[in-house]
């Protein structure tokens, strides 16, 4: 999808809904042009992709209904449906047809003017995610598991390239694919980007071809019903889990998300989630909820052999989080507009 744009003039109060789950999400009313689309997008706390196990017609209907209940976003521990409490106004931002049209516009803009499109959460956040993830992967490659007490330590360029070239990377909801381009510049070589929008993949592939990143693979794939048949050592998510939570069945689909990611992430691999709808603690709690659910399933008589392994080895363990994002005080609580958290796959 087209990325989020944050202006330097934005105050913490104007963005307090980004990290306070008690506050209602806001939506745009009408979207008719690129400028209107950007304004409407800025009034939301996320811009990313979510998948569906339904056909396109039903997916569009569900997405429209999702926007009427987005204001009732619930904590990760509540896995009931949101369908019964619609409050928020409807917006085209939740429809796949909207994003397909948006990417057609961006693809046309690229072909006419060479523009790459927008970057989710802004360039500063992407740069932070890239450098932090690079250092984290290098530390893990050396056997240095962070103790939650500080930032990963940067290594020399030569050391980085030796370690990072061995990592296979999957970017789910890749959008225009610029995150993977930046990871490639840092020394990662086995790179795959997926998105449920064909337009996004067309744009990402066009940008990669222009910029000389022939090592990046782009595929149309829905994370909730993925067709990928391999595992990756590093899975990146910048906004996708946020968007999944806006579906009327968001709580259930978040469970599907964690189950799918747990199968795509190789043992010992790292999942890095960047979110503006969840705090670090909320993301950690959601992963723990998934772990507990898998432990409960593993104790059932009908549990499969794979499920039984989760009894002693929960799928996800909190590894570290970015501590350098600016924070602000609101209502007596300290918050940040963005959270980036890493989990280790058992």
**Per-residue pLDDT in tens (0 to 9) along the chain, 346 residues:** 444 434 333 444 444 434 433 333 333 333 334 444 443 344 333 333 333 334 445 544 444 343 333 334 334 333 333 334 333 322 344 466 777 888 889 999 999 999 998 887 899 999 999 999 999 999 999 888 876 555 655 555 555 567 899 999 999 999 999 999 999 999 999 999 999 889 999 999 999 999 999 999 999 999 999 999 999 999 999 988 887 777 767 788 889 999 999 999 999 999 999 998 889 999 999 999 999 998 888 777 765 655 555 555 789 999 999 999 987 777 777 778 899 999 999 8
CA distance 240 to 17: 18
Nearest to 340 by CA among 289, 272, 291: 272
Q: Where are the beta strands (DSSP E) in 60-189?
A: 168-172
User: What is the reported pLDDT for 103?
Assistant: 84
User: What is the reported pLDDT for 147?
Assistant: 61
Bridge-partner residues for 87, per DSSP? Answer: none
| Neighbour-count burial of 87, counting CB atoms closer than 10 A to its CB (0-12 exposed, 13-18 middle, 19+ buried) | exposed
Cβ-based neighbours of 302, under 8 Å, separated by 6 or more: none
At 159, which helix (H) or strand (E)? helix 157-164
Cα–Cα distances in angstroms (integers) from residue 60 to residues 48, 91, 93, 99, 246, in the given order: 16, 12, 11, 11, 13
Cβ-based neighbours of 322, under 8 Å, separated by 6 or more: 128, 129, 132, 151, 339, 340, 341
| Three-state SS at 68 | coil
β 168-172/190-195 pair status = parallel
CA distance 78 to 46: 20
Residues 3 and 121 sit within 8 Å (Cβ to Cβ):
yes
User: What is the reported pLDDT for 102?
Assistant: 81
Structural domains for the chain: 92-147+161-271 (3.40.50.150)
User: What is the reported pLDDT for 81?
Assistant: 34
User: What is the reported pLDDT for 134?
Assistant: 96
| Three-state SS at 103 | helix
């Amino acid at each position: 999808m087209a990325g989020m744009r944050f202006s330097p003039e934005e105050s913490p109060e104007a963005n307090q809904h980004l990290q306070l789950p008690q506050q209602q999400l806001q939506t745009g009313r009408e979207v008719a042009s690129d400028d209107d689309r950007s304004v409407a997008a800025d009034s939301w706390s996320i811009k990313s992709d979510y998948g569906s196990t339904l056909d396109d017609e039903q997916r569009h209907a569900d997405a429209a209904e999702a926007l009427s209940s987005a204001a009732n976003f619930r904590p990760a521990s509540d896995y009931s449906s949101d369908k019964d409490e619609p409050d928020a106004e409807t917006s085209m931002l939740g429809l796949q047809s909207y994003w397909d049209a948006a990417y057609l516009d961006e693809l046309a803009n690229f072909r006419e003017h060479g523009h790459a499109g927008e970057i989710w959460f802004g360039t500063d956040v992407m740069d932070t995610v890239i450098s932090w993830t690079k250092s984290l992967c290098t530390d893990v490659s050396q056997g240095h598991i962070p103790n939650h007490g500080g930032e990963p330590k940067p290594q020399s360029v030569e050391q980085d390239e030796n370690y990072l070239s061995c990592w296979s990377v999957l970017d789910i909801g890749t959008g225009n694919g610029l995150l993977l381009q930046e990871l490639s510049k840092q020394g990662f070589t086995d790179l795959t980007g997926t998105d449920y929008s064909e337009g996004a993949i067309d744009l990402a592939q066009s940008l990669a071809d222009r910029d000389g990143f022939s090592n990046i693979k782009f595929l149309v794939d829905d994370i909730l019903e993925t067709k990928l048949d391999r595992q990756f050592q590093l899975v990146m998510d910048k906004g996708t889990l946020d968007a999944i939570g806006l579906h009327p069945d968001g709580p259930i689909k978040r469970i599907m998300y964690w189950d799918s990611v747990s199968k795509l992430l190789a043992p010992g691999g790292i999942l890095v989630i960047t979110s503006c709808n969840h705090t670090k603690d909320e993301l950690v709690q959601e992963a723990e909820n998934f772990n507990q659910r898998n432990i409960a399933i593993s104790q059932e008589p009908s549990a499969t052999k794979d499920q039984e392994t989760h009894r002693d080895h929960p799928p996800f363990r909190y590894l570290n989080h970015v501590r350098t994002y600016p924070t602000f005080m609101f209502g007596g609580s300290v918050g940040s507009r963005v959270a980036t958290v890493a989990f280790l796959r058992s």
